[in-house]
Amino acid sequence: MISIESTSFAYDDGAPLLVGVTLAVQPGEYVVVAGASASGKTTLARLLAGQTGADAGAVFRGAVTLDGETIRFDGAPTDPRIDPAAWSARVGFVAQGAWGQLSMMSASVGEEIAFGPSNLGVPTDQLRSLVADVAAALTLTPLLNHDPRRLSGGQLQRTVIAAAMAQRPAVLVLDEPFQGLDDDSAQDVADALEVLRGAGTAIVVCEPMLPRAAPEGARVLALADGRPVFDGLLTDARGAGLRRYGIGTAGDPPRLDPASDPTGPHGRELVTLRGVGFSYPSGRRGDDRSACLAGVDLSLHAGEIVALRGSNGSGKSTLLQHLNGLCRADAGSVSLAGVPILRQPTGALAACVGFLFQDTDQQLFERTVLREVSYGPFAAGHRRDDAVRRASEALERVGLGALEEAHPYELGFVQRRLVALASIIATGPAVWALDEPTAGLDDPARTLLAALVTAHARGGGAVVLATHDEAFARAVAHRSVRLEGGRIMPEDHPSV
């Protein structure tokens, strides 16, 4: 059906990737491409989606075959170009980073899902039933009239997946589709993929770790540093010792240094929320100004790590944004170290609360990694050279010391995530508010994150992290708080 034989692939002047990688996927097959950061899995996904990067100066040597038609590339300027329109009629692609996938030409989730098929000329009545079916499968029906730009991270991710599924492609390539989904949504997506597969769609899923569950007979192609290190059944992959290539298994607890056991709350109260209520201004279509948060109480002490759990759209991100003033409570009060947040500008709170956005692409804006990370300390009043020194130290701590002069946009997903984290460390706030910090991380980065978070708490800081990663929450947090429909639920697992 679709196959790739890659001799090598190189971005501008980077190290060669996909050296000697071959992958052939038959109709109805399910293939997991697993690899740690910078292993080349996103590059492989893009190649399958017909993006050879030739327009961006990348050099690909190899061949791609779709439906028995082989296209060869020699890395020369005379190489053939793949027609995206024709390719997209057969190969669907969900890239990483849901924001960048929005067409910006749709006012509602329904239109967004219909965008692909309507471009391919599917008649209007079929279009309607197609959208209704896909939306029902991914429990998006109640959101069909919502503005796609005003969704929670998980709702947006589901919308983007639904849009690709609605194209009814013969091959569907998904780059980390489960990122940011709660357990139920992840199951919905897996079920919907199964239905497609049953109908003969070939499915390729890229993951930083081996999935905990996958359809029977799922194959794994594992990559490390741009080379294949394993090709076989998922059941065999688990025993193949892929951890040495930084490929762990999703759902495993992070490995914590036993000596770094978090001490727990031992100091003054750093964050206090009392009866916080909030609703988003209603969009153009939704005339319902339904409450997003209601009666939320939360307190966070120095030395404490709290996990914020709850399904997609339950209000976790909204709650976190109250801590640094990006959202202002309609009711109740928010205080930082006893000082209530009233009308202070958001920027003035950055010295107390460091915020990791759910979507990294929303967080980075500077030209080089060093400038990016020194922005915070400089804005907080440090002298320029002092800010740069702090930035360098923070980058060392997250293991990116060598990338100071790189452009943040050139980095891979995990590295960008670590740059965002470094920018918080460099500023040095007492409170860290981290929105889905483990989403999309590979095993080494997740372990590093666990160490950084516990170290911060031990040093007298406080951390609140919204997460769907239960194993991480259990291992790292002192307690967890569950949010459902904008309200705090009584906790039913006191062990966490």
Partner 1 sequence: MRRRRIYNPLTELLAAVLLVVLVLVVNRWEFSLAVLVLVVVPAVVSSGRPRQIGLAVAVVAGPLLLSSLLLHGLFYPEGSTVLADLGPARVTAEGLSFAALMGLRMSVFTGVLLTAAMTLEVPELLATMTHRGWNRKLVFVVGSAVGLIPHVALRARQITRAQQARGLVVGRGPLARLRALLTVTTPLVIGLLVDASERNHMLGARGFSSTVARTSYLPDTDTPGQRIARRVMLAVTAVFSTAWLILPVVTG
Ligand X SMILES: Nc1ncnc2c1ncn2[C@@H]1O[C@H](COP(=O)(O)OP(=O)(O)OP(=O)(O)O)[C@@H](O)[C@H]1O
Which does residue 150 bind out of ligand X, partner 1, Mg ion, none, counting CB within 5 to 8 angstroms by kind?
A: ligand X
The single residue among 43, 88, 106, 155 that binds ligand X, judged by CB under 6 A, is 155
| Interface with ligand X, residue 360, by CB under 6 A | no
> Would you give the binding string for partner 1 spanning residues 86-115, x where CB under 8 A is met?
xxxx--xx-x----xx-xxxxxx-xx--xx
438 binds ligand X (CB under 6 A): no
Determine, following the binding rule CB under 5 A, whether residue 317 of this chain makes contact with Mg ion: yes
Quick check: 129 binds partner 1 (CB under 8 A)?
Answer: no
Our finding on whether 423 is near ligand X (CB under 6 A) is no
- Closest to ligand X by CB, 93 vs 357, is 357
53 CB contacts (<8 Å, ≥6 apart)? 9, 11, 43, 46, 60
Please report whether residue 157 would count as binding partner 1 according to CB under 8 A. no
Question: Closest approach of Cβ 394 to partner 1, in Å?
Answer: 13
Positions 137 through 156 that interact with partner 1 (CB under 8 A):
149
Q: Binding partner of residue 314 among Mg ion, partner 1, ligand X, none, CB under 5 to 8 Å per kind?
A: ligand X
Q: What residues from 263 to 322 belong to the interface with ligand X (CB under 6 A)?
A: 280, 292, 310, 312-318
153 interacts with Mg ion by CB under 5 A? yes
**Residue range at the interface with partner 1 (CB under 8 A); choices 37-45, 73-81, 300-308, 359-367:** 359-367
**244/284 with CB nearer partner 1:** 284
Instruction: Compute the distance between CA of residue 412 and CA of residue 423 in angstroms, rounded to an integer.
Output: 17
Is residue 30 involved in binding partner 1 (CB under 8 A)?
A: no
Segment interacting with ligand X (CB under 6 A) among 58-66, 151-159, 230-238, 328-336: 151-159
User: ∠ at Cα 267 (265, 271), nearest 5°?
Assistant: 80
| 151 versus 422: smaller Cβ distance to ligand X | 151
Closest approach, Cβ 281 to ligand X, in A, equals 7
Q: Taking contact as CB under 6 A, which single stretch among the options 73-81, 125-133, 145-153, 415-423 is the one that binds ligand X?
A: 145-153
Query: What's the 3-state SS for the chain?
Result: CEEEEEEEEECCCCCCECCCEEEEECCCCEEEEEECCCCCHHHHHHHHCCCCCHHHCCEEEEEEEECCEEEEEECCCCCCCCCHHHHHCCEEEECCCHHHHCCCCCCCHHHHHHHHHHHCCCCHHHHHHHHHHHHHHCCCHHHCCCCCCCCCHHHHHHHHHHHHHCCCCCEEEEECCCCCCCHHHHHHHHHHHHHHHHCCCEEEEEECCECCCCCCCCEEEEEECCEEEEEEEHHHHCCCCHHHHCCCECCCCCCCCHHHCCCCCCCCEEEEEEEEEECCCCCCCCCCCCCCEEEEEEEEECCCEEEEECCCCCCHHHHHHHHCCCCCCCEEEEEECCEECCCCCHHHHCCCEEEECCCHHHCCCCCCHHHHHHHHHHHCCCCHHHHHHHHHHHHHHCCCHHHCCCCHHHCCHHHHHHHHHHHHHHHCCCEEEEECCCCCCCHHHHHHHHHHHHHHHHCCCEEEEECCCHHHHHHHCCEEEEEECCEEECCCCCCC
Among Mg ion, partner 1, ligand X, none, residue 313 binds (CB under 5-8 Å by kind)? ligand X
User: By CB under 8 A, is residue 163 in contact with partner 1?
Assistant: yes
Interface positions, 53-82, toward partner 1 (CB under 8 A): 55-56
Q: Of 209 and 320, which has the nearer Cβ to Mg ion?
A: 320
Give the shortest CB-113-to-ligand X separation in angstroms: 16
By CB under 8 A, the residues from 361 to 380 that bind partner 1 are: 362-367, 375-376, 378-380
Residue 174, interface with partner 1 (CB under 8 A)?
Answer: no
- The site for partner 1 (CB under 8 A) is made up of 46, 49-51, 55-56, 84-89, 92-93, 95, 100-101, 103-108, 110-111, 114-124, 127-128, 131, 149, 163, 167, 282, 284, 324-326, 345-348, 350-351, 355, 357, 362-367, 375-376, 378-380, 409, 423, 427
